Amino acid sequence: MNKLRFFTIVCLAMLLGTAAHACTNYLITRGASKDGAVMVSYSADSHQLYGALYFFPAKDWAKGTMLDIYEWDTGTYKGQIPQVEHTYSVKGNMNEYQVAIGETTFGGLEVLHSQKDAIMDYGSLIYVTLQRAKTAREAIKIMSELVEKYGYASSGESFSIADKNEVWIMELIGKGEGEKGAVWVALLVPDGSVCGHANQARITTFQYQATNDFTDTKRTVYNSADVISFAKAKKLYDGKDSEFSFSDVYAPVDFMAARACDLRVWTFFNEVSKEFAANTKYWNYVLGNIECKTPFKALPYKPENFATNRMPLWITPDAKISVHDVMNHMRNHLEGTPNEMASDIGAGPFGLPYRWRPLTWKVDGVEYCNERVVATQQTGFSFVTQSRSWFPDAIGGILWFGVDDAASSVYTPIYCSVTAIPQTFAEGNGTMIEWSDNSAFWIFNQVTNLAYTRYNVIHPEIDSLQQATELKFIKYTEVMDNAAKALYETDPKLAIEFLTNFSVSTADNLVYEWKEFYQYLFMKYMDGNVKISEGMKLTDSGTNKGIPKVQYPGYDEKTYRKIVEETKDKLKVKK
């Protein structure tokens, strides 16, 4: 498995000069979704991550088998843990029981990052758990037990953990050197609400649980027994237990945490709730203006040091949210806001809503930052999961999977029960340093990177085909759901074969179509010109000799005026 990923630390010093993630998760409960599905979205963003669809077939294991653990970020061997007798099938970040897990790295206090001889890094924690858990609550139990027994080998993480009935946000950070394991909290997102996290811990105060009963379906909070006492013992917190805030103690928010991380949660909340959007306090917060009663000076943290203007952990949306809505929420560049990416000079003459790294830079000794939004050029893969309780598990779970920048990619449906995955998305079909001519990752990158050269002209064509294709796929799945359900009642194996063939062929055909789309776009927009076309066919000029009709659009008036302002009379035509 290609596991090259490098983690994000939210503090500004660690963000500089790194291959920082901009991972984003949105969590949608049954009561907030249009069709009653539980949904989770996730973008795996790294300049060094090759987008591929991971696949772990279900398997029986001999008693005494040991499982090798390799760090997901680096591929470094960490150690062994006992394997269970049977593991479940996993496609990407969803298993055959419709359990889905996403993550974002928040880093947190650096003193807690290192733990000698720890085995379970956050990536391995996700994929090992998916192979062992039938419900979200069981997943939380397994994850907590794994880090307690084998140690936690990563920095702080936020996890989205969903099944067909509910979705949880779990935040976890290691204990540092000298003590094995992690401290953590998991909260059930209330039905009818939506939640989000994006590289900043977001759980603040919570109802502490002295014991965890994972069989009690009325429980809405789970936590490690020492989540508060550990902070006090390590002189990290001084205050009442009832005022303890997980994120404010273990991952205190600062300018970059708000501006470069929580901003991506704000964009989602801002789009789904008019009441939230009208609250200027939250916009001021994500601009990096952190308010507190008493500024922090030295450990331990006290309640008066906590930020007082943070966003709510979850909100109730104005309207029910569809799976296609979630896909489009993953494509945000701050459109329609004062900080819209396509508006300032950094967008260039073609309105590019991206900024190339580094994230921060200086002019005359003054430091500035680029916006760090949801849709990013460095996305390896992203997905939206649907877990649906009214279908058998084999049919109910769909992983909508895409590679590269979500703003120009297409989410293709992969049913959670499939026994094979599309070759075009498979691991081993190319790497970040090996080209493959039928790799989804490379084909989509060709289209996307071409659009970056003349975004305001090329991207609208991509957007049009993207939207039409996804809506078509959604209609396909509605037909497939009903057909597979009827077949499943008499022959479950045949139903799964049916869904496998659909998932594989749909994804592979998408890549072949996108390959042809790239050829069309390249011919149409090469050399800064625009050739006239009808549909995806270039128009002949009338000679029938393959000579196209061509337009020379140049730049807009705003750009020409800027050129004149800078060059004055240097380019003036003299008569």
User: Do residues 144 and 159 lie in contact, with contact meaning Cβ atoms separated by under 8 Å?
Assistant: no
Other Cβ atoms closer than 10 A to 338: 8
pLDDT at 12: 34
Buried b (16+ CB within 10 A) or exposed e, 180-210: bbbbbbbbbbbeebbbbbbbbbbbbbbeebe
Task: Assign 3-state DSSP to the chain and report helix, strand, coil percentages, each to 5.
Answer: 35, 20, 45
End-to-end CA distance of the chain: 66
pLDDT at 13: 34
3-state secondary structure of 196: strand
pLDDT at 255: 97
pLDDT at 544: 86
**496 HSE (CA, 13 A, CB side):** 14
**Entry pTM:** 0.95
Phi and psi at residue 157, to the nearest 5°: -135, 145
Tokens of 321: 């949210």
Break the chain into its structural domains and give their ranges.
12-344+353-369, 391-528, 533-567
User: Do residues 347 and 341 lie in contact, with contact meaning Cβ atoms separated by under 8 Å?
Assistant: yes
pLDDT at 312: 98
Rounded CA-CA distance 477/426 in Å is 22
Alpha helices, H only, 85-228: 122-130, 136-150
Rounded CA-CA distance 183/515 in Å is 47
Rounded CA-CA distance 325/467 in Å is 11
Rounded CA-CA distance 342/421 in Å is 37
pLDDT at 1: 36
Positions of the chain with pLDDT lower than 50, given as ranges = 1-20
Residue 176's identity, in one-letter code, is: G
Alpha helices, H only, 151-295: 229-233, 246-250, 255-257, 263-272, 274-277, 280-286
Which long-range contacts link 441-444 to residues 24+ away (Cβ below 8 Å)? Answer: 441/50, 441/51, 441/52, 441/380, 441/381, 441/403, 441/404, 443/511, 443/514, 443/515, 443/518, 444/402, 444/403, 444/404, 444/405, 444/408, 444/409, 444/410, 444/511, 444/514
Rounded CA-CA distance 230/306 in Å is 18
Torsion, CA 100, CA 106, CA 111, CA 114, rounded to 10: 40
Rounded CA-CA distance 424/345 in Å is 38
Q: What is the pLDDT of residues 362-387, one digit of tens each?
A: 999 999 999 999 999 999 999 999 99
| Residue partners of 529: CB distance under 8 A and separation at least 6 | 550, 551, 552, 553
